[in-house]
Amino acid sequence: MKKRCFVLGAGFSKPLGFPLTSGLTELAWEWAYGKIARRDVGAPNKNVHLQTLGILYPYCNMPNEWPDDFEALITVLDEFQQYKNVVENTDSSGRGDSAGHLKSQMIEAIQEKFDFLVRNIPEDKSMLLHSFITWIRDSSANVISFNWDTAIEYSCECQQIRYAYDDKDENSISLAKPHGSLNVIEGDQNCRESLESTKGSVFDAIEEPAGHYVMKAKDASTGYSNLTVPTGVSSIVEPSTRKAYDRPWIQSQWNLAYRLMRKADEIVVIGFSLPEIDYRPRVLLQVTGMANPRRRIKIVAPDADELREKYEKWLGHAEIDIFKGCWTEWFDQEDIFIG
């Protein structure tokens, strides 16, 4: 049997109800400021933030028209705040009307929204996801997901299928999350004590290296809401064009992704567009390809023919097959069970 490794991007989660990156800006704004408006707090900052966005994106008529590139938006808000701090010789990023605060609000809104969407996957799609996860377990495949969401974890928990963010247990699905996961938080002893005192027993410690704790929510469907504490850091890679991978758990996930991909005979890429600015995933594919040059790659996406050109550009003479369509259609094809 082939040793498969699945590489998942936003296109995998889309049929489950999650947005693509092109829709994140409007979604983040509506979720953050709609929620704040219902609470009747922070309303004065809404217009100030719209003015800031109008300066940065004069060609967009916000809130009726939004820029497509969420990562570029987060990057420019960060750059705007940093430069403002320099020229004003002060740090105003914590103020409610600052660009830094707007950036934080939008990222937090995406995390909260994704938590909500995991709990509200349509029943027919949920059943299909469960079948897909069962097949992954039965075929001893591994998974590398570049998504924050916990749809894979939630499906495993619903079916009592074991998964782990490592490759130590051959009876578990090895799941690497190089861009982080909403059900994981990193912090110190104070963070752990705060969780124990305010949230009860809702998490498992998965790593405890030298006073640094990495904790995973026991319920993947409420991971972000359960693990949000002031002294901890949600273990995700900030969605910007200047991604940082310096947190210990994130580094461990990149190392795991390397091991899983290196030993795969076939890599099935579902809905991952290999963005030009995402250098690390590209290097991961290139470096592991050097170790296993005879492996096959299959791309599953509605625009798979265009993606094949991009993958061929960066991976040279790799053997690449495509399925042009959604993975839910591909999964219905009998030939994926062969080999």
pLDDT in tens, 124-158: 999 999 999 999 999 999 999 999 999 999 999 99
Q: What pTM was computed for the model?
A: 0.91
- H/E element, 204: strand 203-207
Angstrom distance (rounded) from CA 146 to CA 280 = 11
**Upper half-sphere CA count for residue 95 (Cβ side, 13 Å):** 13
Q: Which two tokens stand for residue 203?
A: 């998490």
**Residues 235, 257, 335: CA angle, nearest 5 degrees:** 120
Predicted confidence at residue 326, as pLDDT, reads: 94
What amino acid is encoded at 270 in this protein? I
Residue appearing with tokens 């079948």: 131
- Positive or negative torsion for Cα 12, 17, 23, 25: negative
Block means of pLDDT (10 residues each) for the chain, 339 residues, are 88 94 84 56 70 89 84 92 86 75 86 90 94 94 96 96 93 96 86 74 73 83 71 79 90 96 94 90 93 88 94 85 94 58
Predicted confidence at residue 33, as pLDDT, reads: 74
Angstrom distance (rounded) from CA 21 to CA 68 = 8
Predicted confidence at residue 38, as pLDDT, reads: 41
Residue 293 main-chain phi, psi, to 5 deg: -70, -15
- The closest of 121, 101, 119 to 36, measured between CA atoms, is 101
Measured in whole angstroms, the distance separating CA 293 from the mean position of its chain's CA atoms is 28
Predicted confidence at residue 224, as pLDDT, reads: 75
Predicted confidence at residue 339, as pLDDT, reads: 42
Which spans in the chain are helix H? 10-13, 24-39, 43-56, 70-88, 99-118, 123-138, 151-159, 189-198, 223-227, 248-262, 279-291, 304-315, 327-331
Angstrom distance (rounded) from CA 181 to CA 163 = 14
Q: Does CATH number 3.20.20.80 belong to domain 4-17+122-179+237-337?
A: no
Question: 165-171 — which CB contacts under 8 Å span 24+ positions?
Answer: 165/206, 165/216, 165/252, 165/253, 165/256, 166/252, 166/256, 167/142, 167/256, 167/259, 167/260
175: CB partners within 8 A, 6+ apart: 142, 143, 144, 145, 152, 153, 163, 164, 165
Torsion of CA 125, 167, 181, 233, to 10 degrees: 160
Burial letters for 149-181: b for 16+ Cβ neighbours within 10 Å, e otherwise?
A: bbbbbbbbbeeebebbbbbeeeebbbbbbbbbb
Residue 210 main-chain phi, psi, to 5 deg: 50, 55
Please answer whether residues 103 and 78 qualify as being in contact, where contact means their C-beta atoms are separated by less than 8 angstroms. yes
190: left (phi > 0), else alpha (psi -120 to 50), else beta? alpha
